[in-house]
A and B are shown apart, each in its own frame.
Chain A
Amino acid sequence: MATSGLLGWLNIRWLDCSVRFPDELYSGRPTQVTIRLTNLKPRLPSYLLRIQLLGASCSLTVVNGGATQATSFLHTFSGRGRHAAGAARICSPFPVNFFVRCVEIDCDGEAVAFPAPAAATHAPFSVRDGSSGEIQRTERGIDGDMLTIADYTGTEPLKMIHWRLSARHEGFKVKELGTARNEPVIIDLTAAAALPLEERLSFAAHQINHFSRENRAVGLKLAAGRTIPAASGRSHRLRLLTELALYDATQPAA
């Protein structure tokens, strides 16, 4: 009993825990959380570890001395904002299952849960076109505004030929149009102030993702004096979503 007690005690001691969250996770949606457990004992392995964290549990059969093992589980965060991993409860019946010993270890790791995206049936925000000079657009398309008139090179579609102008000139002239898809938008959170905050944030999250999927530059107006300029790219999208996750309406504008 004494040796099994000592072994059981040692089995769950000198363990270090860290948690990895995905960089994009939404409130109310299941997310894979990875726990990395490091056995700080130089030689003695730790066996049969059951790890309880964030209300979920997962297990590791062996973590060798000085080694790190990872395991994961699905977790749904309720509510946007920062979520600390907190303390993991590590239990083990090793060595002889007479007693189950447990220990609590603080786990490094913090998650930022974005607002759950929700598609709005109507346009809740005033989505401002950024063509008024904020952004110089050079992309050409076939469905945007006319940018300029150019000579026909033989490669442009026939429907782009500006017949009236061509008649006045010796050669054909074609209309050069911008692309409507790439038109930058700025989502104005302050516009639909009548809606509950969480609903607004969910709609905004959905729109950010929606416009990003369409490869359009997206910006965000958080308050009267605070606007994040429109841009595209994953890191920008995550920045906007993080702003939404941490949005506090009572905070004064930065």
Chain B
Amino acid sequence: MMRLNRLLEILVLLIALIGVIPLYPHLEPLPRVILPTAAIAGLILQRKGIRPPASLFTAVSLLLFLFYALRFGRDNVVVPAANLLAIFLAVRLAGERSNRAYLQTCALALFCLAASTLFSLSPLFLVALVMLLVLIVSALVLLTFNETDPLLALSRPELATLGKVIACSGGASLLLMLFFFAILPRTQIPLWDTMPGQGRKASGLSDRVQPGSTTAIEAGRGIVFRAAMAPLDSQQLYWRAVVFNRYSAGAWVRQPPPPGEESIRPRGAPVRQAIFPEAGKLPYLPGINVTARISGVRSTTAGDLVTTSPAVTRRRTTYEAFSAPGDTLALRRPIDRPFYLRLPKDLPPRLAAAAAKIGRTGRTDQERLSLARELFRSLDLRYATRNLPTGSNSLDLFLFDRKQGYCEFFASSLALIMRGAGVPSRVVGGYYGGNYNELGGYYVITDELAHAWTEIYLEGKGWVTVDPSTWASGFAELGNERNRSLSRRLATMADTLNYYWELAVITYDLERQLQLVNRAGEQMHRLTMPKNLRRNGLVAVLAVAAISIVVLLARRRRLSPEERLLRQFVALVEPGGEMPPETGILELATRMEDPRAIRFAMLYSSAVYHDRPLGREERRELSSLLKALRKDRRRS
């Protein structure tokens, strides 16, 4: 026998633990210390039978409430609230063990888990939620028993049956939860996500390209977006996000493209990407170069095919991009050349001289581009992210002295040289490459893949993508190293869970619900009846009905071993096998005038008429007696 109140105590402690684990990393030191201390103290006090006065716990709770209440502010709501919840939970763990206290502990554990989602909403939350729901359901059931009789104890088989009932109920609750998750109305802006983007690093992509601002760059491995799509050749993985079209004060910035500029969107965009960006600070929607269109989110596309949406800065969302991988962006009409040739007066002197030379030497823009490429190659530049040149003259230093830099140096230098040579150019910001997750079928784009390249305008062609970083030594190796790293590949595989979490939970909003409904409606419309469906369907229905009837009859006819033996015995005397009314088995056996029949009747009635099932040995003996009786009957 097991006492239910003991079981309940263990269960509630487990619930508190699971509720608080996801919140624990986000707590301040004080609740972090108080929580385990209070739990241990509660256990010791309980074991020793000491009951501290309830007023003591009330006073402590009040004091700590005041302490955190004073820290509440318009911009500081979540942290004090989460800490306060953890403190209350600690007080409950240390305090009395009553049904009311157990119920409060369960509620506080659930609130703590909910509070953890204000900091991060990871798949761990789902695991904890499922565990907590099952355990809380179990605790509530045990509380009901405890309320009825605090000294109640159940045997192990009874407890096992109760466990099965609770497990079934928990399973049904989870299925219902899943169902309601899909159908309950949702808001466009999640109410819970009060701090979008908090705790996430800013993307490696920025709203300006300013080489020379730092001696080293450290791009994190934080995920910027995931793109579900078929794998592409690595040379095609240019995720175009933003165009910087003006160079000013040592930095490339974006201005609205000149009015009238209109790019020709590629016809037929075979590469479809479903993109799941993390909420970031920049409103640009990247897509494989050249992106024909973007759908699924309210967005604006400028003449230079830069698509922006304020939605991505506010919440996690998803959109679809359709691209035709290539390196040329055709235009409907000639560009505003002066706009794309505009240069500041204070260009680095050696860079300006090299640009002027190329401008003079090259006869066409194509030739000038070739000359620039030759210049870059002849300079023997190296791709590096450390020991970078800095200052206002950093580009000169990069090209002619240090000869090493990262993508922004290469792209800025080439764009400036081309503009200096009279060829319209601009710098493009985006991402290059991606780690393909074979399990999930998507690319993971991290901060460190942020990249800058250039677009050069060539008459008759349009804007041609030129990535001067590829002319450097060390660039190709960098990409290979990234892809080959075992830890990276493992991290990419492990990211699958996060991807499906994002796909199924985080980005599941009103739009997705409507899509689901529309898709279901379309499927219903498309549903056509095959010609022979009616006949086959009828056969199938009849077969199912026949099987059901057979199963039902078999169930009805299913007899216990005792009943079966009795029927066989009766059949020896009575042709129908039915026991005559008002007749007992002993009387029937006497009629047979056979000591074996009497033995059968005695053995049978000694068990069955004393509400005891027949044992294995008894059944065996009864069967052998029956067999012998039947043999005699046949002989006679």
Using CB atoms and an 8 Å cutoff, list the residues of chain A in contact with chain B: 2-4, 6-7, 44-45, 47-48, 59, 61-62, 64, 93-97
- Contact check, A48 vs B154: say whether CB atoms are below 8 A apart: no
Shortest 6 CB-CB distances between A and B: which pairs? Answer: A96-B140, A97-B144, A3-B172, A3-B169, A3-B173, A95-B141
Contact A47-B169, Cβ < 8 Å, known A94-B144, A97-B147 = no
B79 within 8 A of A: no
B538 within 8 A of A: no
| Interchain CA distance A95-B165 in the complex, whole Å | 10
- Contact check, A95 vs B169: say whether CB atoms are below 8 A apart: yes
| Interchain CA distance A238-B479 in the complex, whole Å | 104
| Interchain CA distance A59-B152 in the complex, whole Å | 13
| Interchain CA distance A201-B169 in the complex, whole Å | 58
- Contact check, A2 vs B176: say whether CB atoms are below 8 A apart: yes
- Contact check, B154 vs A45: say whether CB atoms are below 8 A apart: no
Contact A7-B158, Cβ < 8 Å, known A2-B176, A95-B144, A97-B143 = no
| Interchain CA distance A98-B492 in the complex, whole Å | 46
Tell me which residues across on chain B come within 8 A of A93, comparing CB atoms.
Answer: 144, 147-148
Which chain A residue shows the least CB distance to B141? A95
20 A-B pairs with C-beta separation under 8 A: A4-B169, A7-B165, A44-B165, A45-B158, A48-B145, A59-B148, A61-B148, A61-B149, A62-B154, A93-B144, A94-B141, A95-B140, A95-B165, A95-B169, A96-B137, A96-B140, A96-B141, A96-B144, A97-B144, A97-B147
User: Of the candidates B158, B169, B176, which one forms a contact with A62 in the assembled complex, judged by CB atoms under 8 Å apart?
Assistant: B158
Which chain A residue shows the least CB distance to B174? A3
The minimal Cβ–Cβ distance linking B155 to chain A, given in whole angstroms, is 9
Contact A61-B169, Cβ < 8 Å, known A48-B145, A97-B143 = no
Which chain A residue shows the least CB distance to B161? A45
| Interchain CA distance A62-B149 in the complex, whole Å | 13
Tell me which residues across on chain B come within 8 A of A6, comparing CB atoms.
Answer: 172
Tell me which residues across on chain B come within 8 A of A94, comparing CB atoms.
Answer: 141, 144
- Contact check, A48 vs B144: say whether CB atoms are below 8 A apart: yes
Tell me which residues across on chain B come within 8 A of A3, comparing CB atoms.
Answer: 169, 172-173, 176
Tell me which residues across on chain A come within 8 A of B137, comparing CB atoms.
Answer: 4, 95-96
Contact A48-B165, Cβ < 8 Å, known A3-B172, A94-B141, A95-B141 = no
5 further A-B contacts with Cβ under 8 Å, apart from A6-B172, A95-B169, are: A3-B172, A48-B148, A62-B158, A95-B137, A96-B137
Tell me which residues across on chain B come within 8 A of A2, comparing CB atoms.
Answer: 173, 176
The minimal Cβ–Cβ distance linking B4 to chain A, given in whole angstroms, is 10
B107 within 8 A of A: no
The minimal Cβ–Cβ distance linking B90 to chain A, given in whole angstroms, is 26
Tell me which residues across on chain B come within 8 A of A61, comparing CB atoms.
Answer: 145, 148-149, 152, 154
- Contact check, B140 vs A47: say whether CB atoms are below 8 A apart: no
B128 within 8 A of A: no
Tell me which residues across on chain A come within 8 A of B162, comparing CB atoms.
Answer: 45, 47
The proximity string for B residues 279-298 relative to A, scoring 1 for CB distances below 8 Å and 0 otherwise, is: 00000000000000000000
> Within residues 139 to 179 of chain B, which ones have a CB less than 8 A from any CB in chain A?
140-141, 143-145, 147-149, 152, 154, 158, 161-162, 165-166, 169, 172-173, 176
| Interchain CA distance A26-B607 in the complex, whole Å | 37
The minimal Cβ–Cβ distance linking B179 to chain A, given in whole angstroms, is 10
The minimal Cβ–Cβ distance linking A141 to chain B, given in whole angstroms, is 43
| Interchain CA distance A3-B180 in the complex, whole Å | 13
| Interchain CA distance A212-B281 in the complex, whole Å | 102
| Interchain CA distance A7-B140 in the complex, whole Å | 13
| Interchain CA distance A4-B170 in the complex, whole Å | 9
| Interchain CA distance A3-B148 in the complex, whole Å | 21
Tell me which residues across on chain A come within 8 A of B166, comparing CB atoms.
Answer: 95
Tell me which residues across on chain A come within 8 A of B161, comparing CB atoms.
Answer: 45, 64
Tell me which residues across on chain A come within 8 A of B152, comparing CB atoms.
Answer: 61
Which chain A residue shows the least CB distance to B157? A64
| Interchain CA distance A24-B545 in the complex, whole Å | 55
